[in-house]
Amino acid sequence: MNERVQTFPGQGGAGTLVSQRNRVLRNTYWLLALSMVPTVLGAWIGVQTGIASAMSPGIGLVVFLVGAFGFMFAIEKTKNSAAGVPILLAFTFFMGVMLSRLVGSVLGLNNGASLIMTAFAGTGAIFLGMATMSSVIKRDLSNMGKFLFIGMIMLLVAMIANIFIQSSALMITLSVLAIGIFSVFILYDLKRVQDGLETNYITATLGVYLSVYNVFSNLLALLGIFGGERD
């Protein structure tokens, strides 16, 4: 006797939707991992050549902002084409070069290498924690986006102002706030992929990468201030 399996309307569509979300999430994780390679390479070249350290804080800020926003505009324009991934990887190389000023200053400390590894491990732990939470939390977090964006803009303005103010207390405060804000951004961006609100893995990777980058750089800055061993 042959049994017929009844398929209800929408059943196949739901399965396809889940499969698509999982594929975008998987591609996001893979591309994020790949993006670490040019970042490390860019930081190493930057430290060896001193290109970022040679720029004054003002010039460095202008180069960073123009380069970062230029690359992000290009990534958004090419996210659906074959050029999207190479441009994203070129962007992460640029970000690595820009990170080299901080990395070089920390490496100048007696325990600089261990501080960098500690910052890397701490960033990894935060990322794993946020990724786990994104898969566990069932509620919609889309309303958090506008508050996170406002917080990020305020943080950016304060950081730019502090380049000229040169307040150590303000820098420490802003670094702590940045770690908190961008940690939540990781949760928010990954949850958007899992909820099907973000369907392009290049765009998703860009958002998560920027958050991871900011968590790492601010964590490294704090470790350099409080844990650095000098002669």
Tens digits of residue pLDDT in 113-129: 999 999 999 999 999 99
For the segment 36-85, what is each residue's pLDDT rounded down to a tens digit? 999 999 999 999 999 988 888 888 889 999 999 999 999 999 999 999 99
DSSP 166: -
Q: How much is the pLDDT for 14?
A: 62
The DSSP H or E segment spanning 2 is none
Q: Mean pLDDT in the chain?
A: 90
AA letter at 190: L
Which pLDDT band holds residue 132 (cuts at 50, 70, 90)?
very high
For the segment 177-189, what is each residue's pLDDT rounded down to a tens digit? 999 999 999 999 9
DSSP 6: P
Among the listed residues 154, 151, 146, 47, the one whose alpha carbon sits nearest the alpha carbon of residue 99: 47
Decide if 28 contacts 127 (C-beta within 8 A).
no
From CA 83, how far away is CA 61, in angstroms rounded? 27
Q: How much is the pLDDT for 182?
A: 97
Instruction: Return the axis-axis angle of helices 57-78 and 144-165, rounded to nearest 10°.
Output: 150
Q: How much is the pLDDT for 231?
A: 67
Tokens, residue 57: 């804080």
Q: How much is the pLDDT for 227?
A: 86
Share of the chain above pLDDT 70, in %: 93
User: How many other CB atoms are there within 10 angstroms of residue 180's CB atom?
Assistant: 14
Q: How much is the pLDDT for 8?
A: 43
Among the listed residues 48, 52, 45, 60, the one whose alpha carbon sits nearest the alpha carbon of residue 93: 45
